[in-house]
């Protein structure tokens, strides 16, 4: 397989991204502990999306007989040099993706740090499941074993005010074509516990040993602990790498490079302990191609508000020129 211009292939050639992930001690220490707990002498281990090869090195240190490191970015050449420079000769590197990678045996462990922001920003889950079905031995181990999604109800008006900047006609200018755009697309944020309601929403858990395909929608319900005005949803995930090794990425957890994802609302939404609230979040369709888009909603028995990133982009189409701008002047 050859490297191309896809965002994954290009972005993961940036050393700064790998530096940020390796500086995430919560993430990296947890993976090292999980691999030392699971890998036994003689084990065959597959590391999917290996990046710098750090997880492959951890697996080798834990006693793996052979490690197969797979990545579709040309950065894998750097990973190879790092491994060999540190004396890890039992790691075999493959510049492949899930479709082109082949192996003449099954492996005892598949490890992957595939999780993007709110799990789905990197579209690696479906390829990981295909590799699992092809190469994981019966009784083999997936790391992570399970991942769960959560959402909080955002009560901080300052974030809404910031995203409403174009609505205020700054400098006396009407920005109507884009005034709602910041409120119609997810944003990466560092949310503090005080900015969300105490009771949060459980959106479900994915078992990586049994999951057939990525879900198209996540739904959860919560009874608010008090009356409040909600300006958006705060999304995060938690990961059980093994039965004993886990970490979270929410506002109350130790900070990680994932932060949280803010799903804004175009208008405030009033909630009360008297009304159960339902939250729905649909991740991007990783089979559709093109730019990933999300949809999300909040509702109770009296009201409902749905946001659709794709729909908003389509509304912007009339304002976007279909040819060179000079032809339209």
Task: Answer yes or no: do 80 and 202 share one domain.
Answer: no
Question: Last residue of some domain: 89, 121, 143?
Answer: 143
Task: Answer yes or no: do 97 and 211 share one domain.
Answer: no
The CATH number covering residue 180 comes to 2.70.160.11
* Identified catalytic residue from 113, 179, 189, 309: 113
Task: Answer yes or no: do 191 and 303 share one domain.
Answer: yes
Is 83:56 a contact under the CB 8 Å cutoff? yes
Domain of residue 133 covers 7-143
Question: Last residue of some domain: 126, 143, 160?
Answer: 143
Task: Answer yes or no: do 166 and 269 share one domain.
Answer: yes
Q: Is residue 251 part of a domain?
A: yes
Task: Answer yes or no: do 53 and 69 share one domain.
Answer: yes
Task: Answer yes or no: do 45 and 64 share one domain.
Answer: yes
Task: Answer yes or no: do 40 and 21 share one domain.
Answer: yes
Q: What is the pTM of this model?
A: 0.91
Task: Answer yes or no: do 132 and 259 share one domain.
Answer: no
Give the alpha-carbon dihedral of 85, 88, 91, 96, to 10 degrees. Answer: -20
pLDDT digits (tens, 9 = 90+) for 162-208: 999 999 999 999 999 999 999 999 999 999 999 999 999 999 999 99
By 3-state DSSP, what share of the chain in percent is helix, strand and coil, each rounded to 5?
A: 30, 30, 40
pLDDT per residue, tens digit, the chain (329 aa), is 333 334 444 455 688 989 999 999 999 999 999 999 999 999 999 999 999 999 999 999 999 999 999 999 999 999 999 999 999 999 999 999 999 999 999 999 999 999 999 999 878 999 999 999 999 999 999 999 999 999 999 999 999 999 999 999 999 999 999 999 999 999 999 999 999 999 999 999 999 999 999 999 999 999 999 999 999 999 999 999 999 999 999 999 999 999 999 999 999 999 999 999 999 999 998 776 667 899 999 999 999 999 999 888 887 777 766 655 454 44
Average pLDDT taken over every residue of the chain: 92
Query: For the chain, how many structural domains are there in total?
Result: 2
Q: For this structure, is 113 an active site residue? A: yes
Q: For this structure, is 309 an active site residue? A: no
Q: Is residue 325 part of a domain?
A: no
* Identified catalytic residue from 32, 65, 99, 122: 122
The CATH number covering residue 82 comes to 3.40.50.150
Q: Is residue 326 part of a domain?
A: no
Cα–Cα distance between 310 and 329 in angstroms, integer? 29
Q: Is residue 69 part of a domain?
A: yes
Q: Is residue 138 part of a domain?
A: yes
Task: Answer yes or no: do 204 and 121 share one domain.
Answer: no
Task: Answer yes or no: do 19 and 129 share one domain.
Answer: yes
Coil, strand or helix at 308: strand
pLDDT digits (tens, 9 = 90+) for 36-60: 999 999 999 999 999 999 999 999 9
Measured between alpha carbons, how far is residue 62 from residues 35, 41, 57, 79, 264 in Å?
Answer: 7, 8, 9, 18, 43
Task: Answer yes or no: do 211 and 288 share one domain.
Answer: yes
Q: Is residue 156 part of a domain?
A: yes
Contacts by 192-195, CB closer than 8 A, 24 or more apart: 192/251, 193/251, 193/252, 194/156, 195/154, 195/155, 195/156, 195/159, 195/234, 195/251
- If phi > 0 it is left, if psi is from -120 to 50 it is alpha, else beta; for residue 87 that is left
Question: Last residue of some domain: 111, 143, 175?
Answer: 143
Q: Is residue 214 part of a domain?
A: yes
Q: Is residue 327 part of a domain?
A: no
Task: Answer yes or no: do 132 and 162 share one domain.
Answer: no
């Amino acid at each position: 397989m050859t490297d191309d211009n896809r965002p994954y292939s290009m972005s993961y050639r940036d050393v700064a991204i790998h530096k940020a992930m390796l500086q995430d001690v919560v993430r990296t220490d947890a993976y090292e502990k999980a691999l030392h707990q699971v890998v036994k002498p003689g084990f065959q281990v597959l590391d999917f999306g290996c990046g710098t090869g750090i997880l492959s090195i951890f697996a080798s240190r834990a006693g793996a007989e052979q490690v197969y490191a797979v990545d579709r970015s040309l950065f894998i050449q750097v990973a190879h040099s790092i491994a060999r420079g540190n004396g890890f000769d039992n790691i075999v590197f493959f510049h492949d993706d899930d479709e082109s990678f082949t192996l003449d045996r099954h492996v005892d462990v598949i490890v992957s740090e595939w999780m993007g922001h709110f799990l789905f920003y990197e579209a690696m889950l479906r390829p990981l499941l295909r590799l699992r079905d092809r190469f994981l031995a019966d009784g083999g181990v997936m790391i992570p074993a399970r991942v769960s999604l959560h959402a909080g109800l955002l009560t901080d008006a300052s974030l809404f005010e910031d995203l409403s900047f174009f609505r205020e006609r700054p400098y006396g200018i009407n920005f109507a074509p884009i005034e709602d755009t910041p409120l119609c697309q997810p944003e990466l944020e560092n949310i503090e516990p005080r900015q969300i309601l105490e009771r949060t929403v459980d959106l479900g858990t994915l078992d990586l040993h049994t999951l057939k395909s990525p879900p198209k929608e996540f739904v959860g319900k919560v009874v608010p602990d008090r009356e409040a005005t909600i300006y958006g949803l705060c999304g995060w995930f938690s990961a059980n790498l093994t039965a004993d090794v886990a970490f979270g990425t929410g506002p109350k957890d130790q900070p990680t490079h994932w932060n949280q994802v803010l799903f804004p609302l175009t208008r405030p939404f009033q909630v009360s302990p008297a009304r159960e609230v339902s939250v729905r979040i649909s991740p991007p369709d990783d089979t559709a191609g093109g730019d990933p888009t999300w949809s999300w909603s909040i509702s109770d028995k009296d009201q409902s508000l749905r946001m659709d990133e794709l729909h908003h982009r389509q509304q912007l189409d009339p304002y976007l020129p279909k040819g060179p701008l000079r032809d339209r002047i």
